[in-house]
Amino acid sequence: MNKAVRNAVIAGNWKMNKTRPEAKALIEELKPLVKDADCGVVICVPYTNLETALELTKGSNIKVGAENCHWAKSGAFTGEISADMLAEMGVEYVVIGHSERRQYFGETDVTVNKRVRAALDAGLKVILCVGELLEQREQGITEEICAMQTKVALLGVSEDELKNIIIAYEPVWAIGTGKTATADQANEVNGYIRSVVAKLYGEKAAEALTIQYGGSMNAGNAEELLSKEHVDGGLIGGASLKAPDFATIVAAASK
């Protein structure tokens, strides 16, 4: 397995933060700080900020993503947004299966799979989140949980379509808690997820797959996490809301 063949991607997940003026200020501050990045830079923002983000990042190296999408093309799904609606705007990425969606909004492995399919059909790139709860880690079933979430999410996804997928391993106990997985723990599970993908799609496809780590990654711990063989970038929550911190993580991934 050769890390150098993979594209490192640092993606911010703003969650339900930032009004439009706040989003504008953050993006304007961020642009010059990451302009020389030698990795992919993505900001996944609330729906209400997509237009602002697309406008302000035009001509820059920052790509824009949404934080979720529905599986249907259109219809009676009040409050939802379809993948086609995002693609039509010029959005490139979408986060699917984030643990907060699973925890608070009844997202299951099956609905994650349906959303993944819809996003790929619309031509979007997917950041697919998987990860275990603290109790599951303590029970010693981290690998089983990550394997199950990965396999179900990828049902019906072809090897060619896998090129439009990034997997983000996010141990739920590390998200927004300040409790980061150690670099070795992150590397171990990322490597395991890669082996699951290798069984499904072959070694070559698995070797090329970008697998991020997410969970309290910040300006202080990013370099060590990103130095690991199987950690190809990060999905960043809290630290993506501060331009200098996010830029420091981008710089660490560019080394």
Residues taking part in catalysis: 98, 170
Q: How far is the CB of 61 from ligand PEP (least distance, A)?
A: 21
Q: How far is the CB of 215 from ligand PEP (least distance, A)?
A: 5
- 231 makes contact with ligand PEP (CB under 6 A): no
Q: How far is the CB of 59 from ligand PEP (least distance, A)?
A: 27
Q: How far is the CB of 125 from ligand PEP (least distance, A)?
A: 16
The binder of ligand PEP chosen from 32, 123, 156, 176 (CB under 6 A): 176
- 171 makes contact with ligand PEP (CB under 6 A): no
- Any residues with CB less than 8 A from the CB of 241 and at least 6 apart, and which? 12, 14, 17, 18, 26
The binder of ligand PEP chosen from 26, 235, 243, 250 (CB under 6 A): 235
Q: Which of 173, 164, 181 lies closest to 96 in space, CA to CA?
A: 164
- 220 makes contact with ligand PEP (CB under 6 A): no
Which residues, listed in sequence order, are joined to residue 233 by a DSSP beta bridge? 9
Alpha carbons 1 and 251: distance in angstroms, whole number: 24
- 221 makes contact with ligand PEP (CB under 6 A): no
Angle at 169 between CA 158 and CA 3, to 5 degrees: 75
Copy the structure tokens of residue 39.
């990795």
Q: Is there a contact between 150 and 109 (Cβ–Cβ < 8 Å)?
A: no
Q: Is there a contact between 210 and 202 (Cβ–Cβ < 8 Å)?
A: no
At 253, phi and psi to the nearest 5?
-75, -15
- 252 makes contact with ligand PEP (CB under 6 A): no
- 97 makes contact with ligand PEP (CB under 6 A): no
- 214 makes contact with ligand PEP (CB under 6 A): yes
Alpha carbons 2 and 5: distance in angstroms, whole number: 6
DSSP state of 180: P
Tell me which stretch binds ligand PEP (CB under 6 A): 31-39, 183-191, 202-210, 230-238. 230-238
- 217 makes contact with ligand PEP (CB under 6 A): yes
Q: How far is the CB of 76 from ligand PEP (least distance, A)?
A: 30
The binder of ligand PEP chosen from 84, 107, 170, 245 (CB under 6 A): 170
